[in-house]
Amino acid sequence: MADGAATAAAEVAAEQRHVDRVYARLDVLREETAESTRNGFALARVGNFGALVERDAMVYQMSRRLRALDAEYDGLVFGRLDLVARGDADTTLHIGRLGLRDEQYRPLVVDWRAPAAGAFYRATPTDPMGVIRRRVIRCVGQRVADVQDDLLDPGAAPDGMAVVGEGALLASMARATGHRMRDIVATIAREQDEAVRAPASGAVLLTGGPGTGKTAVALHRAAYLLYSDRNRYESGGVLIVGPAPVFMRYIERVLPSLGEDTVTLRALGEVLDDTSTDRRDSPAVAAVKGSLRMRQVLRRAVRDVPPGAPDRLRLVYAGLVLTLDAKALAGVRRAAQRRGTPHNQARRYARAELIEALWQQAVRRAANEYALDRERFADEVGDRSEFHRFVAAWWPVLAPFEVLSWLGDESRLRRYAGRVLTPEEVRLVAASIAPPTAPDTLFDVPAGDGPTVADVALADELRVLLGPPPKPPKPEPDEYQIAELSTYAERTMPARERPERPTDYDEYAHVVVDEAQDLSPMQWRMVGRRGRYAGWTIVGDPAQSAWPDPDEATAARDEALRGRRTRSFELTTNYRNSAEIFALAAQVVRAAEPDLPLPTAVRHTDTPPAVHAVAAADLPDTCRTALAELLAAVPGTVGVVAPDDLLDAVRGWLPADERVDLLGPLSAKGMEYDGVLVVEPGRIQATAAGGARTLYVVLTRATQRLTVVGTDPAWPGA
Ligand SMILES: Nc1ncnc2c1ncn2[C@@H]1O[C@H](COP(=O)(O)OP(=O)(O)OP(=O)(O)O)[C@@H](O)[C@H]1O
C-alpha cells in the first residue's frame, strides 16, 4: 500500500460510521425498552392479580434488558468478519459484546457468544472457516481508535480489500491494565476459544502456565454458558470459586462487563454461608487441616461427649432411684449414634435410648415387688423438666464452628486423632485453634482471631456430619384470624421475589474453580458438595501449586467430579509478562524444578527486570525509591509483594497510594499489575508454602515492569 496511514484512516472512518449507527440504534432501543417498562407499570391499573403477576414479569424482563443496554459498553463493537459470499447471507458481520438488530431486523452487531461469531475466534489461515479478513476494532468509548486486520484467505479477497496493521493480539496485549482485569473478548485466541465454547456438560480441565489466560477463559466461559442456556444457568446459578477475597474483588468487575451479573463469586474462605475469612494457617498446619485424614478426626469429634455435658443422670421414679453413670451414658450415646442419623437430628433417638436404659434399670429394681407400665413410664419420665434439661445439656444442638473449637483442646484432639495424626501434628493443629468458648448463637464463630481459610472446609464437613439444626415448631394457625394480604406490595410480592437460596444450596448448574492447583482435598470436598448436579470448569497450573500432596488433591478432585467425562485443554502462550520478565521467573523455577513445562512469553519490551541487592539497613530506602520509579514508569497499578512476616514493616516504609496494593506471596496468586515490586525474594522462597513455585507466581504478576529488592547478593543465583 502506497500510503498505509491514509488507508488505515479511511478504514477507521468507515468503521466509525458503523459504530455511530450502532450507538444511535442503542439509544432508540433503550428508549423503547423504557417505554415498555412504563407500559408494564400501567398494566397494574387493570387491578386483578393475574395482571399484577404479568406486570411484574414484564417489568423484571425489561429492567434486565435496560440494564444490559445501559451498561457502559466501552468498545461495544470490537470485531468484523468479511466472509466468502454464500447464498444471500451477509458477507460482513460486526462482532460485539451484545447483539443488536436494525429496524429491518438485520444484524448490526452479533453477540460474541453467538454461534455466528465463532469464526472470529477460531478461523486461521489454514482453516479460514469462510473468513476472508478478520478485523479487530479498538474503540475508546464510542470512538474508533484503530483497526488491525488478519487476512486469512488471500485467494478469496476481492480487489482493493484493505488490510491494516498486523498482530492485533500483540497490540492488545501491550496495553496497560487497570485495577480490573481486561476482558479479552476481542482477542481470544483459538486455543482459548475451544475451551470457552466446550460443551457445558462434564468437566473442562484447563491448564497452562502463568499469564496464559486461564482466569480470563474461565470467566468468558461462564459468560458464554449463561448466554447459551440462560434459563438453566440463571435458575441453577453459576458458582465461581477462587483463591482470596482480593482476587475475587479483582475479577468480580469483569463478569458484568462481559454482559453477565448472575454469578456467585466466592473466595475459598467464603464458600460456607455466613463465613468470611482471609486468615491463613502456617503451611505445616494448613497441610494437616487440608488432608483427608481430618475426616476421621472430625467424625470422632462429632461422636464425642460435648465439653461441659453432665456425666450422670439421676432421677427418682415411683420411689426408685435410677442412675446412669458415665459408662452407662456412653453406651446410650453409642446406641443413639448407631442409626447413622446426623447429630442434630438424632436427639429424639438419644431421648428414646435414655428412657430405655432407665426403664431397664427400673424394671430390675422393682423386681417382683410391683408392676410398672412401660408406656406410662416413658410418658412420665419424658415429660419431666429435669429430664428435658438433662437431654438439652447432654445432647445439645451443635454448630460447626463450635465443634471445630473442641480441636483447640489438645487432649481432646489427641483422642480424636488416634493414629491418624502424629503427636507433632496434634500439637500444631490444637495450637492453631482457639479453644472452646460458649457461643451465644448457633452460628457464632469462636472468639480469638476467628477461623482460617482451611478451617472453613473443616466446618463445612462438620456441617454435613452434624446436619441442620431441628426446625422450630410451626406456630399453630390462629383460629380467629386469616392471613390477609393487605397492601399492594404484599400482594405482588410472590411474583417479584426470586426465591432465596437456602444456606446449604448445592444445586448449582455450573461450578468454576480457579487456581485449582491450590485446593486441598478437604476444600475439594467442600466445593464438590455444591456441584453435585453441575457441569464444571476447572482451571489451574500444577507448577504454581503450593499443596504438598498433589496426588491426594487430584484424587479428591476426581471424587468431586463423580465420574463425569472430562475434556482437557492446555494453554501455552503467556500473554501477561514480557519475555524479559518471564525469563527471570523461569530461571527461578527451573533451578528448583528443571522439568516443569513452561509457557512461552511472546511480547518483547527491551526493559529487563531490575534486581537490587542491598544491605539490610538500606532496604526501606531502596524499596521506597523503587516504588516511586515504578509509579512513574507505568500508568496503572503497582503490586508490592513481601514475605508475610515482613508485611507490616514494609507497610511502614512505603507511602500510601491508591494505585498500590501490598500483599503476601499467596495473596498474589491470580493477580496482575502493570508494575510489581518484590521484596526479599529469597525469604519468600524459604518461608512461603510452595517455596520456589510460589516465588515463581510472584515474579509473574507484572505486565510491564518488575523490580526485585533483597539482601542476598547471590540471588537469583546461576
Ligand atoms: N487472547 C488474549 N489476548 C489478549 N490478552 C490476553 C489474552 N489472553 C489472556 N490475556 C491477558 O493476559 C493476562 C493474563 O490472563 P489471566 O490472568 O487469565 O492468566 P492466568 O492463566 O489465569 O494467569 P495466572 O495463572 O498467572 O494467574 C490478562 O491480562 C488477560 O487479559
Task: Write the DSSP string, 262-301.
Answer: -EEEEEGGGSSTT--------HHHHHHHHSTHHHHHHHHH
Q: Is residue 137 part of a domain?
A: yes
Q: Report if residue 71 sits inside a domain.
A: yes
| Interval between CA 667 and ligand 1 midpoint (Å) | 17
Same domain, 563 and 589: no
Q: Residue 706 — pLDDT band, cuts 50, 70, 90?
A: very high
- 406/435 Cα distance (integer angstroms): 6
According to the model, what pLDDT value does residue 495 have? Answer: 44
* Domain termination residue (choose one: 375, 394, 413): 394
14 and 151 housed in the same domain:
yes
For range 489-495, the mean pLDDT: 48
Give me the mean pLDDT over the 229-251 stretch.
Answer: 82
Query: What is the CATH number for 530?
Result: 3.40.50.300
pLDDT > 70? residue 71: no
Ligand 1 close to Cβ of residue 182 (< 6 A): yes
Closest to 577 in 3D by CA, of 704, 422, 489, 683: 704
The confidence score (pLDDT) of residue 476 equals 61
Instruction: Average the pLDDT over each of 180-184, 542-546, 586-590 and give the range with the smallest value.
Output: 180-184
Average pLDDT over residues 341-352: 94
**Claim to verify: residue 563 and residue 611 sit in the same structural domain:** no
Pocket of ligand 1 contains residue 636 by CB under 6 Å? no
Residues 445 and 560 both lie in one domain: no
Query: Which segment of 52-61, 77-86, 132-141, 353-362 scores lowest on mean pLDDT?
Result: 52-61
Average pLDDT value over all residues in the chain = 85
For atom 8 of ligand 1, the residue with the nearest CA is 213
177 CA closest ligand 1 atom index: 29
Count Cα neighbours of 314 within 13 Å in the Cβ-side half-sphere: 4
Decide which of 58 and 527 is more confident.
527
pLDDT tens digit string along 578-619?
Answer: 999 999 999 999 998 898 889 999 888 889 999 999 999 999
Cβ 700 under 6 angstroms from ligand 1: yes
Helix 691-699 vs helix 579-592: angle between axes, to the nearest 10 degrees? 180
Question: Do 519 and 416 belong to one domain?
Answer: no
**What's the rounded Cα separation, in Å, for the pair 387 and 315?**
8
pLDDT tops 80 at residue 487: no
Q: Is 670's C-beta closer than 6 angstroms to any atom of ligand 1? A: yes
Q: Kindly tell me if the per-residue pLDDT of 684 is higher than 60.
A: yes
Residue 425 burial class via C-beta count within 10 angstroms: exposed 0-12, middle 13-18, buried 19 and up: buried
Mean pLDDT across 94-100: 87
* pLDDT reported for residue 112: 87
pLDDT value for 387: 95
Whole-number Å distance, alpha carbon 188 to ligand 1 midpoint, is 10
Nearest ligand 1 atom, CA 544? 25
Residue count of the chain, please give it: 718
Q: What is the pLDDT of residue 292?
A: 95
> Residue range 35-48: average pLDDT?
62
**Does the CB atom of residue 701 touch ligand 1 within 6 A?**
no
Please indicate, yes or no, if residue 499 is contained in any of the structural domains.
Answer: no
Let me know if 25 is exposed, middle or buried by CB neighbors in 10 A (0-12, 13-18, 19+).
Answer: middle
Share of residues in the chain with pLDDT > 90 (%): 51
Domain-located, residue 259:
yes
Does 299 map to a domain? no
Å from CA of 554 to ligand 1 middle? 24
Q: Is 262 in the pocket of ligand 1 (CB under 6 A)?
A: no
On whether both 355 and 338 belong to a single domain, the answer is: yes
**187 belongs to an annotated ligand binding site:** no
ipTM, 2 dp: 0.98
pLDDT band at 43 (very low <50, low <70, confident <90, very high): low
Considering the domain boundaries, does residue 455 fall inside one? yes
| Ligand-binding site membership of 208 (annotated) | yes
Could you give the CA distance from residue 142 to residue 419 in angstroms, rounded to a whole number?
Answer: 67
Q: Which of 172, 214, 253 to mutate to test the pocket of ligand 1 (most atoms within 8 A of CB)?
A: 214
Compute the Cα dihedral for 643, 645, 649, 651 and give only its sign: positive
- State if residue 214 touches ligand 1 by the CB under 6 angstroms criterion: yes
Ligand 1: distance of its center to the CA of 703 in Å? 10
How many angstroms is it from 67 CA to the middle of ligand 1? 27
Q: How far is the CA of 181 from the centre of ligand 1 (A)?
A: 8
Q: Measure the CA–CA gap between 539 and 551, rounded to whole angstroms.
A: 17
Based on the domain organization, do 27 and 168 belong to the same domain?
yes
Residue 672 alpha carbon to ligand 1 centre in Å: 9
Annotated binding residue 213: yes
| Sequence-distant (≥ 6) Cβ neighbours of residue 573 within 8 angstroms | 189, 191, 212, 213, 599, 600, 601, 602
Q: Please tell me if the CB atom of residue 243 comes closer than 6 angstroms to any atom of ligand 1.
A: no
The pLDDT score that the predictor gives to residue 220 is 86
pLDDT given at position 80: 94
Better-scored residue on pLDDT, 170 or 338: 338
On whether both 253 and 120 belong to a single domain, the answer is no
Distances in whole angstroms, Cα of residue 205 to Cα of each of 164, 196, 211, 562, 694: 37, 11, 17, 14, 22
| Residue pair 152/124 in contact by the 8 Å Cβ criterion | yes
Q: Which of 262-271, 361-370, 582-591 has the lowest mean pLDDT?
A: 361-370
Query: Could you tell me if 675 and 630 are in contact, meaning their C-beta atoms sit under 8 angstroms apart?
Result: yes
| 281 located within any domain | no
User: How much of the chain is in helix, strand and coil states, percent to nearest 5?
Assistant: 45, 15, 35
Q: Where residue 257 falls among pLDDT bands split at 50, 70, 90? A: low
Q: Is 573 in the pocket of ligand 1 (CB under 6 A)?
A: no
Does the annotation place 209 within a ligand binding site?
Answer: yes
- Quote the ligand 1 centre to 215 CA distance (angstroms): 7
Domain count, the chain: 5
* Angstrom distance (rounded) from CA 607 to CA 581: 8
DSSP helix/strand/coil, 548: coil
Cβ distance 216 to 184 under 8 Å?
A: yes
Please give the pLDDT value at position 497: 46
677 touches ligand 1 (CB under 6 Å): no
In a domain, 460, yes or no: yes
Same domain, 542 and 454: no
Ligand 1 centre to CA of 471 (Å) is 47
Counting ligand 1 atoms within 8 A of each CB, the residue from 545, 577, 672 with the most, and so the one to mutate, is: 672
As a whole number of Å, the end-to-end CA separation of the chain is 49
pLDDT at residue 490 above 60? Answer: no
Examine the fold and report which residue of 394, 415, 450 is the final residue of a domain before the chain moves on: 394
18 in the same domain as 145: yes
Residue range(s) defining the domain that contains residue 429 = 399-466
Q: How distant, in Å, are the alpha carbons of 392, 641, 643, 653, 673 from that of 650?
A: 51, 9, 10, 5, 18
Measured in degrees and rounded to the nearest 5, phi and psi for residue 630 equal -65, -45
Cα separation, 289 vs 392, in Å, equals 30
Domain boundary among 543, 571, 599: 571
- Quick one: pLDDT at residue 596? 85
Q: Which atom of ligand 1 is nearest to the CA of 208?
A: 21
Structure-model confidence comparison of residues 211 and 370, the more confident one? 211
Which residue's alpha carbon is at the smallest distance from atom 1 of ligand 1? 188
Whether the Cβ atoms of residue 692 and residue 275 lie closer than 8 Å to each other: no
Residue-wise pLDDT for 381-430, tens only, equals: 999 999 999 999 999 999 999 999 999 999 999 999 999 999 999 999 99
User: What is the mean predicted confidence (pLDDT) over 113-120?
Assistant: 86
Q: How far apart are CA 443 and CA 273, in angstroms?
A: 10
Q: Give the lowest-confidence range in 67-71, 209-213, 228-232, 299-303.
A: 67-71
Residue 136, amino acid: V
What does DSSP assign to residue 125?
S
Higher pLDDT, 39 or 571: 571
- Do 362 and 422 reside in the same domain of the chain? no
> Which pLDDT score is estimated for 494?
46
214 is in an annotated binding site: yes
Ligand 1 pocket mutation pick from 173, 255, 518 by most atoms within 8 angstroms of CB:
173
Are 130 and 56 part of one and the same domain?
A: yes
Q: Are residues 430 and 410 in contact, defined by beta-carbon separation less than 8 angstroms?
A: yes
C-alpha to C-alpha distance for 685 and 590, rounded to whole angstroms: 13
Q: Evaluate the omega torsion of the peptide bond into residue 716 and state whether it is cis, within 30 degrees of 0.
A: yes
